[in-house]
Amino acid sequence: MSKPSLARGTRDFGPAQMSKRNYIFDMIRRVFQRYGFLPLETPAIENLSVLMGKYGDEGDQLLFKILNSGNFAEGLTETQLQEGYKKLTLKVSEKGLRYDLTVPFARYVVMNRSDLVMPFKRYQIQPVWRADRPQRGRYREFYQCDADVVGTDSLLCEAEIVLMIHEVLRGLGMESFTVKINNRKILSGIAEVIGAPGQEGPMCVAIDKLDKIGKEKVEEELKERGFSAETIEKLQPIFELTNNQTDIFSSLRVWLEGSEIGSKGITELEEVWAKVDKFGLSQPQLQLDVTLARGLSYYTGAIFEVKANEVQIGSISGGGRYDNLTGTFGMPGLSGVGISFGVDRIYDVMEELKLFPENQSISTQVMITNFDADAEAYGLGILRQLREAGINAELYPDASKLKKQFDYADRKLIPYVLIIGSDEIQTGILSLKNMKSGEQQKLGLEHILSIFA
Partner RNA sequence: GAGGUUGUAGCUCAGCUGGUUAGAGCGUCGGUUUGUGGUUCCGAAGGUCGCGGGUUCGAACCCCGUCUCCCUCCCCA
User: Which positions touch RNA (CB under 7 A)?
Assistant: 3, 5-9, 56, 58-59, 61-62, 100, 130, 132-140, 142, 144, 205, 209, 212, 294-296, 305, 314-318, 340, 342, 344-345, 371, 401-404, 406-407, 409-411, 419, 421-424, 431, 433, 435-436, 438, 440
Distance CA 271, CA 159 (A): 9
State the nearest-atom distance from the C-beta of 298 to RNA, in Å.
Answer: 10
Nearer to RNA, 333 or 381 (CB): 381
Distance CA 326, CA 50 (A): 11
User: Which H/E stretch holds residue 413?
Assistant: none
Residue 182 near residue 290 (C-beta atoms within 8 A): yes
The type of residue at 52 is M
State the nearest-atom distance from the C-beta of 251 to RNA, in Å.
Answer: 26
In angstroms, how far is the first alpha carbon of the chain from the final one?
Answer: 51
State the nearest-atom distance from the C-beta of 445 to RNA, in Å.
Answer: 15
Distance CA 74, CA 431 (A): 71
Nearer to RNA, 144 or 182 (CB): 144
State the nearest-atom distance from the C-beta of 154 to RNA, in Å.
Answer: 23
Contacts of 261 (CB under 8 A, 6+ apart): 185, 188, 189, 192
Nearer to RNA, 138 or 223 (CB): 138
> Which of 453, 270, 271 has its CA nearest to residue 366?
453
Nearer to RNA, 259 or 315 (CB): 315
State the nearest-atom distance from the C-beta of 115 to RNA, in Å.
Answer: 28
Nearer to RNA, 62 or 88 (CB): 62
Nearer to RNA, 34 or 136 (CB): 136
Distance CA 176, CA 285 (A): 8
> Which of 316, 256, 261, 262 has its CA nearest to residue 285?
316
State the nearest-atom distance from the C-beta of 423 to RNA, in Å.
Answer: 3
Distance CA 201, CA 221 (A): 13
